[in-house]
Amino acid sequence: MSKNIVIVGAVAAGPKAACRLKRLRPDWNVTMLDQDSLISYGGCGIPYYVCGDVSDEKELRSTSFHMVRDETFFEQAKGVRVLTRTRALAIDRKNKTVRVENLNTGEAGELPYDKLLLATGAQPVRLPIPGIDLDGVFAIADLHKAIAIKERIAQGKVSRAVVVGGGAIGIEMAEAFTDLWGVETTLVEYMPQLLPRIVDWHFAAMLKKHLEEKSVRIHTGESAVEILGDDQGKVTGVRTGQRTLEADLVIMAVGVRPRSDLAREAGLSVTPWGGIKVNHRMQTTDPDIYAAGDCIATTHLVTGKDAFAPFGSLANREGRIAADNMAGGASHFPGVVGSYVMKAFERCIASTGISYETALAEGFAADYSLTAPADRAHFFPGEAIVVYQMVFDRNTRRVLGLQGFGMMNDSISARIDTAAGLIARGATIEDFMTVEMAYSPPFSSAIDSINAAAYVADNLCAGLLRKVGLDRFFAWMEDFGREPDWVALDIRHLQEATPYAAKFGERWLAIPYNEMRQRHGEIPEDKTMIILCDAGTRSYEVQVMLDAVGKRNSLVLSGGFNVIRRVGADWLL
């Protein structure tokens, strides 16, 4: 028997569910509504549209076979009725209807449903500061905003921009402005680092350094307190706690939150932060109402807690699963590990699972391995250093997360995606030691980066490797008084190490790696030796060797100069 399906929201989760439902139940009536006139677009593509990589906004809402996904397309090709510029005002759960309003005509109506899907998405957080409504202040709320921004830039109206917010959207927009348009761009982030809660500080620092090299000005730990404007109501700048930044354009990218008023007002369960609660079948607390996409709370598979995971990829998946269940099937969405990847100019940064900082906060016996190997066979042309951090629990040996930073190619994705599949299944260090990465010199090393990261984790757990944190080392380099008994033991080639030994005197001892077995007598026993090399692997070997001769007074700086150089430091020669 035919049923009436109503879907609120026509981007990502909504369209995916609508089309899947029509395939599973061709005789059902599927109606999808959206308050916007532009629907079914790839929101994650907006920065690439603004920068010009994607020339026409229509490409963001076209299929791979170049048909625009508008109302006619959904009607003709998919058999789905679409009502645009139509807002869902309220859900009458008793009578199973949705009250709607046509935003063009003001006309109101009721849509009866047998099953209802809420795919209402997320909306940008509005900072409660003065000037937020000035002309020229934009949040990336929808495609219209993107079109307006690009128009302004293309018309030469923008020479200086300020981006408030150092998450993915803020960084991608800063790149878009700087890279193609040459707009002088400053990014302000109130947390002490970029990508807060996503990557650990040193990964954020490597990203920041690269962005700065590409002419993006960045102020972290700095809050926007007021947006400034002129008499005509046009934006002129941003005042932060520390300074005033001039701007013709301001992007507010301080995060998004679930759009869940409709659900809350209908009495459905919603988390304190606004995520619609759903079970693994995407059902809300009303079994005839489903929810999918950026408006829901899902489960984090590492912490077991509610999670907010607003990704277009997950929205599509959740939409498909909701459709399966609405059609009478039994599909299951297990939750998320929080996989994340971002292009930043010529670099890529990515992560999955949780960061070290988060793992500590969550009460894990958290530790991490920090490695900096080549991204493919070190003798293969074009190879480049990549930095990985594997976060694990020392008690259970469970891997909790992986972060990667390197060149802009798919090499990091390969490791992050592999890790995501394993972490979702509770994999341990052993599982990562043996995961079988396809090997050939143009693609990987004989000991793949992900295996190598697990080996280091294994060595840490076994007590074979004792490391020192990068933060402590950097602090010491700023002020030797902090660790009066430390001496750097630089085991790189002499031409690399000698200038440092010359500069830092008795704080810096240079003995090459391959001479250590002969020269370990020169190592002082009353000092703590901080062993340094390029990647950290030689340092580990030297530590093991020194331990064997009874000199256990050393710590390894994981990642070595490969990481130090990418994070940057004043004292680097």
Residues with a known catalytic role: 44
Q: What are the Cα distances from residue 502, in Å, to 129, 269, 280, 303, 474? A: 52, 65, 62, 48, 19
**Looking at beta carbons only, is 247 or 348 nearer to its own copies?**
348
**Min dist. Cβ of residue 191 to its own copies (A):** 21
Residue 293 φ then ψ, to 5°: 95, -155
Is residue 412 classed as helix, strand or coil in its secondary structure? helix
**Min dist. Cβ of residue 569 to its own copies (A):** 21
Out of 24, 129, 147, 191, name the contact with its own copies by CB under 8 A.
24
Is 434 among the residues that bind its own copies (CB under 8 A)?
A: yes
Is 439 among the residues that bind its own copies (CB under 8 A)?
A: yes
Residues whose CB falls within 8 Å of the CB of residue 393, separated by 6 or more in sequence, listed in order: 359, 364, 365, 366, 367, 400
Give CA torsion, residues 350, 430, 314, 405, to 10 deg. 0
Out of 91, 153, 194, 350, name the contact with its own copies by CB under 8 A.
350
Contacts to its own copies from residues 190-229, by CB under 8 A: none
**Min dist. Cβ of residue 463 to its own copies (A):** 12
- Both tokens of residue 306? 């509610």
Is residue 306 classed as helix, strand or coil in its secondary structure? strand
Q: Which of 78, 36, 77 is nearest to 57 (CA)?
A: 36
CA gap 469, 368 in Å, rounded: 10
Out of 212, 346, 471, 515, name the contact with its own copies by CB under 8 A.
515
Q: Which stretch binds its own copies (CB under 8 A): 263-271, 372-380, 467-475, 476-484?
A: 372-380
Q: Which stretch binds its own copies (CB under 8 A): 60-68, 119-127, 233-241, 287-295?
A: 60-68
**Looking at beta carbons only, is 157 or 378 nearer to its own copies?**
378
**Looking at beta carbons only, is 24 or 360 nearer to its own copies?**
24
Secondary structure string (H, E, C) spanning 254-283 = CCEEECCHHHHHCCCCECCCCCEECCCCCE
CA gap 136, 224 in Å, rounded: 16
Is 312 among the residues that bind its own copies (CB under 8 A)?
A: yes
Out of 37, 79, 129, 141, name the contact with its own copies by CB under 8 A.
79
CA gap 370, 374 in Å, rounded: 13
- Both tokens of residue 385? 């250093």
Is 426 among the residues that bind its own copies (CB under 8 A)?
A: no
Is 272 among the residues that bind its own copies (CB under 8 A)?
A: no
Q: What are the Cα distances from residue 535, in Å, to 80, 204, 370, 423, 526? A: 56, 19, 9, 25, 26
| Amino acid at position 134, single letter | L
| Amino acid at position 399, single letter | V
Is 440 among the residues that bind its own copies (CB under 8 A)?
A: yes
Contacts to its own copies from residues 242-261, by CB under 8 A: none
Is 23 among the residues that bind its own copies (CB under 8 A)?
A: yes
| Amino acid at position 284, single letter | T
Out of 418, 539, 554, 558, name the contact with its own copies by CB under 8 A.
418
**Min dist. Cβ of residue 535 to its own copies (A):** 7
Is 53 among the residues that bind its own copies (CB under 8 A)?
A: yes
Is 517 among the residues that bind its own copies (CB under 8 A)?
A: yes
**Min dist. Cβ of residue 434 to its own copies (A):** 6
Q: Which stretch binds its own copies (CB under 8 A): 72-80, 192-200, 260-268, 476-484?
A: 72-80
DSSP 66: S
Is 442 among the residues that bind its own copies (CB under 8 A)?
A: yes
DSSP 385: B
Q: Which stretch binds its own copies (CB under 8 A): 38-46, 112-120, 257-265, 287-295?
A: 38-46
Phi-psi region of 492 (alpha: psi -120 to 50; beta: other; left: phi over 0): beta
| Amino acid at position 467, single letter | K
Out of 89, 361, 365, 447, name the contact with its own copies by CB under 8 A.
447
Is 405 among the residues that bind its own copies (CB under 8 A)?
A: no
**Looking at beta carbons only, is 1 or 94 nearer to its own copies?**
1
Is 466 among the residues that bind its own copies (CB under 8 A)?
A: no
- Do 516 and 474 contact (CB within 8 A), yes or no? no
